[in-house]
Amino acid sequence: MIDIEKVQHVFFDLDHTLWDFEKNSEATFESIFKELKLDFSLQTFLQFYNPTNHFYWKLYRENKISEIELRHSRLEKTFEKMEITPSAKLINKISELYIERLSKHTHLFKDTIAVLEYLFPKYKLHIITNGFENVQQQKLKNSGIAHFFDVVLTAEKAGYKKPHSTIFVTALEEAKVLPEHALMIGDSLEADVQGALKLGMQVIHFNSHSEDIHQECLIVDELAVLMDML
């Protein structure tokens, strides 16, 4: 359970927690495929792409592949599963346009703004994200939520990805808060929950993509619940 009396700072993950990655990703691919006049089904593509992207992000988080390999392999493997063989040039073009346009989309999870407005006067709010520095900063700015956060720490800036302890330690140091007075809220059991718990932070798992139920911390399915808890 959360010891509310001790919480002074709240740290959020960004993608899949506040910023609706799947919805924004879909909108990005839709615009790209329309521009490039690709005639396969967007929904069929996403059916294969979303789990493939999760798989390759896990490899990237574990330092088993590079950023370039992540961006290329997730597309190449998706098309392979669709039994389509685009040229390397086309895959590179889609990848470049995707990174360029993704952060311009601004879909947030339901109640994100209401929750941030509720918490902002009560706690110091921060972001810890495994995303890339410029992309994540643009997502926050374009979505109109950048002003809510004090420390925004990306894996690229920290030099380590969640769940590595260094990125959490760096965020805590920048925020000038002890772990026991910090609450981490994120969607990933491995990266957010287990990473923060190792540091002695309090944790809430926002189960936005239906991960297996566990006993490691409190689980919520909607952000609005936070307004009743904090």
Q: Distance between CA atoms of 192 and 168, rounded to whole angstroms?
A: 10
Q: Distance between CA atoms of 30 and 181, rounded to whole angstroms?
A: 42
Which two structure tokens, joined as six digits, stand for 187? 């969607």
- Name the helix (H) or strand (E) containing 117: helix 112-119
Residues of CATH 1.10.150.240 domain(s) within the chain?
21-102
176: alpha, beta or left? (left if phi > 0; alpha if psi -120 to 50): left
Query: 87: which residues sit within 8 A by CB, 6+ positions away?
Result: none
Q: Distance between CA atoms of 19 and 1, rounded to whole angstroms?
A: 26
Q: Distance between CA atoms of 59 and 63, rounded to whole angstroms?
A: 6
| CATH (residue range 4-20+108-229) | 3.40.50.1000
Which two structure tokens, joined as six digits, stand for 137? 């900063």
Digits of tens for pLDDT over the chain (230 positions)?
A: 789 999 999 999 999 999 999 999 999 999 999 999 998 999 999 999 999 999 999 999 999 999 999 999 999 999 999 999 999 999 999 999 999 999 999 999 999 999 999 999 999 999 999 988 999 999 999 999 999 999 999 999 999 999 999 999 999 999 999 999 999 999 999 999 999 999 999 999 999 987 778 999 999 999 999 999 99
- The pTM of the whole model exceeds 0.85: yes
Strands (E), the chain: 9-12, 124-129, 152-154, 182-186, 202-206, 218-220
Q: Distance between CA atoms of 64 and 73, rounded to whole angstroms?
A: 13
Query: 81: which residues sit within 8 A by CB, 6+ positions away?
Result: 48, 52
Provide the CATH topology of domain 21-102.
DNA polymerase; domain 1 (1.10.150)
Residues of CATH 3.40.50.1000 domain(s) within the chain?
4-20+108-229
Q: Which residues of 181-220 are buried (b: 16+ CB within 10 A; e: fewer)?
A: bbbbbbbbbebbbbbbbebebbbbbbbbeeeeeeeebebb
